[in-house]
Chains A and B, each alone.
Chain A
Amino acid sequence: MVTSIHQLDDGAWVSVNDSREVNVSDLWLLARSDVCACEPSDFLAEGFVEVSAAHGRVEGRIAGQCIACGESGVTGWLELGRADPETGTFRPVVPESTHVPDRRRRLARPAATEELRQ
């Protein structure tokens, strides 16, 4: 089925298949990041800047701040969760678990919808 993703309301949340799934205001534990030198970074999500989906894997870049050192910035690509290609059901990752942002740049665009038919 189609995996449809959007970031909406000034990047306040990420919609997966027209259901609000990932919100701002969570603390994400990042093993490392481009935002600051903290390892790990205790990163407050303040807005979703870009989102993308590939093979059900939903990713995003998050604007926010490391609450340990105070540095603000935008993370690399982080996995936000996975959408089941059959049912569309989304299973989010746990923000408090350790995450490693990916620096690669995919062909995503702001508020993009990437539609993949399985």
Chain B
Amino acid sequence: MPSKVEGWKSETYGNEVRDRLLEFAEEGWDSIPEDEHDAWFERFKWWGLYHQRKGQESYFMMRIGTPNGVLKPGQLEVVADVADEYARGPVDNPEFGAAVCDWTTRQSIQLHWIKLEDIPEIWEQLESVGLSTQQACGDSWRNIVGCPVAGKDTNEFIDAWPVAEELNERFKGNEEHTNLPRKWKVSVTGCSEGCGQGDINDLAFEPATKELGGEEVKGFNVRVGGGLARKEPRLSRSIDVFVTPDEAADVAAACSALFREHGDREDRFNARIKFLIDEWGTEKFRRVLDEEFVDGELKTAGEDLRDQYTYNAGHGEHGDHVGVHEQPDGNYYVGLSVLVGRMGAEDTRELAHLADEYGSGEVRITQRQNLIVTDIPEEDLDAFLDEPLLEEYSPDPHPFMRGSIACTGTEYCSLSIVETKNRMVRYARWLKNNVEVPSGVEDFHIHLSGCTASCAQPQIADISLRGMKTRKDGEPVEAFDVGLGGGLGENPQFADWVEMRVAADEIPGYVENLLAVYEQRREEGESFREFIARHEEDDLTGLAEPEETTYEDPYMHNTKMTWYPYADEDDMSASPAPTDGQGQSLTSDD
């Protein structure tokens, strides 16, 4: 029996949702029939709109998909304008103020507090410069990710940007691939460093060579079934297939069609392709793909470059794209650290102006929630680096500021157990001010995720934090499970979960103690990840003690029980939601 969501999707889904959504927007929030709320909110996701959590009814998170994280000249300023005008809620965030843009771990953009009535105007503005919210959420081809400097990287093996663009053009709005059993996340990597994070995507194209007709041809090996969610993390698995760049879209279509036909539509918890690969194995997947979904015969895998992967590999060479880097054309790209990926609309607009003034106007989003300004001539580099905005968003940040990632959390998200972004900001600042960085460490990854959905990709960090609860002095408080030693590279490794249910205010002390142990006991030249890998899992538990310190945490209470954790009157009953198009509270019949 198909799930309820499948029933709603079979009635209306995909492109056709847009017209209905525009009608609702025209007529106002109240025009959505109350007994159809769940069905419509599920469908709206396909157009990048996610209804915010309980207490914030009538407000939406809007996600804008930017393939490979590329914001073409002119686009970032429009994003800033839209955020400034429309992404304003009833109460400001105490760390970030009002109207912010979130850069996500899948190279997309998220805006919050979007009102239904404003969506037509927002779409008009975004689409006027080629931006789209289509398929940013929902059971569809999501934003395609890759090495954020594709086409501008001196370590590039093959330019993946045209492939990512082709996939985006072919599968956005494509009726044959509109209604998949679940989300479908695709990565295309062209560099020799593994920056596309193909290991954690449903479908991954990774650089490879193969001898064809006596010639060495550059292309991609195909892997399937990676993902981190629901305490069921999987690395993508090779299906022994090589494609040339020209063939990539056809094979991607075949994989997507196989998923459409064979993915589990009865149990959404079992629907991702990783579970089909678990059930079938890669040999059967390849055989069915070859026999039923591909014209012609699939090529066997080529020689991959995985032994060269340095990105997030734990050796410290290439943890991210922050800093000043030369492009093949002699210009430079500058990667800027954006703490927890959140930037105010004014700063976003200023950065767009700087990108115009010093570079080509292009800006790129990384999978570490940071931004890159590209195409800066060498002679303009110093002036760009002297810009005041770069004091806040630094190309040479402190290691704890540089490596911090956090998901959305209970501020807006239904799934999260704990507050995330503001807490991670406070953690990073406290660590910067109080903890000595072990010698040689320039980039230390702490990923904080509010729940098991793993949007902050906690399993591939030096220190992984996953939202939890515990009791302290008998009272329930927000807490974290702590994992250590995750990362990618030639031998990707998910973190071992070693300390469970640590109260949130004892995490900074734990990190301080852990880094002191690392500094004392590490061997010559041993990276943190190597140090952790040298220990048995049992020995990692108790390696350092959680401890209260001078760090103060204002979010220890159950932030999920509030309508907005930072409101003075935060009780659920004080919520102004739902509101009308002007933000005025609507009278409820309840």
Residues of A participating in the B interface, judged by any CB pair closer than 8 Å: 4, 6, 8-13, 15, 17-20, 23-27, 42, 44, 46-47, 49, 65, 67, 70, 72, 89, 109-113
Whether B471 lies near A67 (C-beta < 8 A) is: yes
Q: Are A67 and B38 in contact (CB under 8 A)?
A: no
Across-interface contacts of A27 in B (CB, < 8 A): 469, 476
Q: Does B417 contact A (CB under 8 A)?
A: yes
- In this complex, what residue of B is CB-closest to A109? B1
A32, B470: Cα distance in complex, Å: 19
Report 7 cross-chain contacts, Cβ distance below 8 Å, ordered by A residue: A9-B414, A49-B269, A67-B471, A67-B501, A72-B231, A89-B590, A110-B269
Q: CA–CA, A116 to B216, complex, Å? A: 66
Does B410 reach chain A (CB closer than 8 Å)?
yes
Q: Is the CB of A110 within 8 A of B469?
A: no
Given contacts A67-B469, A70-B501, A110-B267, are A44 and B417 in contact (CB under 8 A)?
A: yes
Q: Considering the chains assembled together, what is the distance between the CA atoms of A70 and B502 in angstroms?
A: 12
A8 touches which of B38, B267, B451, B469 (Cβ 8 Å): B38
How distant is A58 from chain B, measured CB to nearest CB, in Å?
15
Taking a contact as CB atoms closer than 8 A, the residue among A17, A47, A65, A110 that contacts B3 in the complex is A110
Q: Is the CB of A15 within 8 A of B38?
A: yes
Query: Does any Cβ of A come within 8 Å of B304's Cβ?
Result: no
B451 interface neighbour in A46, A49, A113, Cβ under 8 Å:
A46
B415 touches A24 (CB 8 A): yes
Q: Is the CB of A11 within 8 A of B558?
A: no
CA distance A77 to B267 in the complex (A): 18
- Complex Cα–Cα for A42 and B37 (A): 33
Interface membership of B437, Cβ < 8 A = no
CB of B38 within 8 A of CB of A111, answer no
A85 to chain B, nearest CB (A): 16
State the CA gap A25–B451 with chains docked (Å).
Answer: 9
A25 and B471 contact, CB distance less than 8 A: no
A112-B4 in contact given A11-B269, A49-B269, A70-B500 (Cβ < 8 Å): yes
What are the 6 A-B residue pairs with the smallest beta carbon separation, nearest first? A12-B414, A111-B4, A18-B37, A25-B560, A12-B415, A111-B3
Q: What's the Cα separation between A24 and B500 when bound, in Å? A: 19
A10 to B35, CA, bound (A): 20
Contact B5 A10 (CB under 8 A): no
Given contacts A15-B38, A26-B558, 16 further A-B contacts (CB under 8 A): A9-B414, A10-B415, A12-B415, A13-B414, A17-B35, A18-B34, A18-B36, A19-B37, A20-B54, A20-B57, A23-B560, A25-B417, A25-B560, A70-B500, A110-B268, A111-B4
Contact check, B453 vs A10: say whether CB atoms are below 8 A apart. yes
B416 at the A/B interface (Cβ < 8 Å)?
Answer: yes
Contacts of A20 in B (CB 8 A): 53-54, 57, 414
Q: Which residue of B lies closest to A42 (CB)?
A: B471
- Given the interface pairs A13-B414, A44-B468, A89-B590, the reply to whether A23 lies near B38 with Cβ below 8 Å is no
Chain A residues closer than 8 Å to B469, beta-carbon distance: 25, 27, 44, 67
Assembled-state Cα–Cα distance A27/B478 (Å) = 11
Instruction: List the A side residues contacting B38 at CB < 8 Å.
Output: 6, 8, 15, 18
B404 CB-CB contact with A under 8 Å: no
In the complex, the chain A residue whose C-beta lies closest to that of B40 is: A18
Q: How far is the CB of B159 from chain A (nearest CB, A)?
A: 36
Q: Are B54 and A110 in contact (CB under 8 A)?
A: no
> A10 and B560 in contact (CB under 8 A), knowing A18-B35, A18-B37, A44-B468?
no
Checking A42, A46, A49 against B452 with a beta-carbon cut-off of 8 angstroms, the contacting residue is A46
